[in-house]
């Protein structure tokens, strides 16, 4: 049961929204979404969480995974991500909206607030425990008219379509074919899309024969159940360095076992960043230019044992070809230690082609450095679309869709 030690729920909610608007790096804002988040009581959808936790800007787990090494099965999304994804969705009063990933029911309540009395909201989840939870909280808070269905979100809910808006609150590796027929042409789809080891909230506009993005923002979500096109494996004998890639990529981890024990090649650029400045756009540019782009993670023990530190040990972009690998790295500039630090961006390569791969990463660092806020355009086409009908860019084929990433 929620408990509080001072401020009212309304005060805590307003403080949270104020902080989101002040600190949000997405650059997105919609007064209607702001009003919805100031109105709908998040703590009422998290009755077992302390009220201060309900109004902290963080995700809250509502169903743990029995596998202690795995991610939770369901959680309430971080509020600032909820905010900018709803802005991306641009819900209008009277819209018919479909949500994949019911969670706590909170997001469905926000959607209902945005659609108004004349609109319709349907939320679904494959997990019956999750939909039962969402049904209880929605009913308890006056949202009995929100539909809650238990099914695989990839199937959609054709009986309530066509939809003006669709939103996924789980990480998707593919865009299911059923969605194309259920989302009206001219409608919008917002989805945390995963490719080449990264995840972005992509806002698509549905056009004839394709969906084209107009907003691509950083996010992280639990992956949807049932899409298993991502691969991962350790590339060292001590199981400290792990690689993540897509099934359409030619990555053989066993070829890299010896690479990290060989001499390294470090290449620096003239590009620097501040201590809180995101350089994640480098990864996006790599995914639009280099088919070999994937993700590397390194445990602290790997760095302590002599591995050159990845820019972000928990997740950094890498290029892999055969028995060679390179990845993004950084190093503090030799400036006065009393001033705010800045960091050089560069790349480190291992293996016979490591130096070449590092140079290719640096080329994209420089391209990003000259246009740091530029976003790629992600265009999705049905899987049977011929090459001649695709936009220019890097093509990534999935079972249901062909993605083109371009700048």
CATH classification at residue 81: 3.40.50.150
Asked whether residue 82 falls in the same domain as residue 205, the answer is yes
Co-location of 205 and 242 in the same domain: no
Whether residue 128 is found in the same domain as residue 151:
yes
- Of 3-12, 79-88, 184-193, 289-298, the one with minimum mean pLDDT is 3-12
Cα pseudo-dihedral 361, 215, 53, 67, rounded to 10: -60
Reported as a single tens digit per residue, the pLDDT across 137-170 is 999 999 999 999 999 999 999 999 999 999 999 8
On whether residue 132 sits in a domain, the answer given is: yes
> What is the separation, in whole angstroms, between the first and last Cα of the chain?
49
Residue ending a domain, among 218, 252, 270, is 218
Q: Give the confidence band of 94 by pLDDT, cuts at 50, 70, 90.
A: very high
Residues 71 and 190 in one domain: yes
Measure Cα distances from 81 to 29, 30, 194, 196, 197 in Å. Answer: 12, 14, 16, 21, 19
Which is catalytic among the residues 59, 74, 77, 199? 77
Residue 272 falls within a domain, yes or no? Answer: yes
Q: What is the pLDDT of residues 17-73, one digit of tens each?
A: 999 999 877 788 899 999 999 999 999 999 888 999 999 988 777 655 455 544 444
Catalytic residue list contains 59: no
Mean pLDDT of 221-250: 85
Q: Are residues 343 and 198 in the same domain?
A: no
Q: What was the pLDDT predicted at 164?
A: 98
**Worst-scoring range by mean pLDDT, 43-52, 155-164, 219-228, 307-316?**
219-228
Q: For residue 178, tell me if it sits in a domain.
A: yes
Q: Is residue 353 part of a domain?
A: yes
Q: Does a structural domain hold residue 361?
A: yes
Out of 183, 218, 253, a domain closes at 218
Domain co-membership, 291 together with 183: no
Residue 278 included in any domain = yes
- Which pLDDT score, from 0 to 100, does residue 7 have? 85
pLDDT in tens, 346-364: 999 999 999 999 999 999 9
Q: Which pLDDT belongs to residue 222?
A: 64
Is 202 found in the same domain as 247? Answer: no
Query: Does residue 180 lie within any of the structural domains?
Result: yes
Task: State whether 290 and 194 are in the same domain.
Answer: no
Are residues 310 and 183 located together in one domain of the fold? no
Pair (282, 349) in one structural domain: yes
Average pLDDT, the chain: 91
**How many separate domains does the chain show?**
2
Of the residues 169, 185, 218, which one is the last residue of a structural domain? 218
Are 311 and 239 in a shared domain?
yes
Q: Which domain holds residue 170?
A: 9-218
pLDDT for res 38: 97
Kindly state whether residue 252 falls inside one of the protein's structural domains: yes
């Amino acid at each position: 049961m929620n408990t509080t030690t001072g401020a009212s729920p309304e005060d805590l909610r307003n403080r949270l929204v104020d902080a989101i608007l002040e600190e949000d790096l997405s650059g997105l804002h919609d007064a209607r979404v702001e009003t919805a988040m100031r109105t709908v009581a998040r703590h009422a959808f998290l009755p077992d969480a302390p009220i201060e936790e309900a109004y902290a800007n963080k995700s809250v787990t509502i169903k743990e995974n029995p596998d202690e090494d795995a991610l939770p099965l369901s959680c309430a999304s971080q509020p600032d991500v909820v905010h900018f994804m709803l802005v991306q969705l641009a819900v209008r009063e009277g819209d018919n909206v479909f949500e994949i990933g019911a969670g706590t029911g909170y997001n469905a309540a926000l959607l209902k607030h945005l659609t108004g009395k004349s609109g319709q909201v349907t939320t679904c989840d494959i997990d019956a425990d999750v939909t039962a939870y969402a049904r209880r909280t929605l009913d308890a808070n006056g949202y009995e008219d929100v539909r809650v269905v238990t099914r695989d979100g990839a199937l959609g809910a054709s009986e309530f379509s066509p939809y003006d808006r669709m939103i996924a609150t789980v990480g998707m590796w593919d865009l299911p074919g059923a969605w194309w027929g259920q989302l009206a042409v001219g409608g919008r789809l917002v989805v945390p899309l995963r490719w080449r080891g990264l995840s972005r909230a992509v806002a698509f506009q549905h056009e004839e024969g394709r969906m084209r993005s107009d907003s691509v923002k950083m996010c992280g979500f639990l992956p949807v159940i049932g899409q298993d096109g991502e691969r991962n494996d350790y590339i060292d004998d001590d199981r400290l360095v792990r690689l993540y890639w897509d099934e359409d990529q030619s990555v053989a981890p066993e070829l890299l076992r010896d690479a990290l024990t060989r001499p390294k090649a470090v290449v620096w650029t003239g590009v620097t960043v501040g201590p809180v400045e995101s350089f994640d756009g480098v990864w996006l540019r790599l995914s639009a230019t280099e088919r070999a782009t994937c993700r590397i993670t390194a445990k602290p023990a790997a760095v302590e044992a002599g591995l050159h530190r990845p820019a972000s040990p928990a997740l950094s972009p890498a290029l892999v070809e055969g028995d060679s690998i390179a990845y993004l790295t950084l190093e503090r500039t030799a400036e006065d230690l009393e001033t705010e630090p800045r960091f050089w961006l560069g790349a480190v390569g291992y293996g016979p082609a490591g130096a070449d791969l590092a140079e290719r990463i640096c080329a994209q660092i420089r391209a990003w450095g000259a246009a740091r806020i530029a976003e790629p355009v992600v265009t999705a086409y049905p899987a049977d679309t011929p090459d001649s009908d695709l936009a220019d860019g890097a093509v990534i084929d999935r079972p249901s869709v062909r993605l083109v990433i371009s700048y």
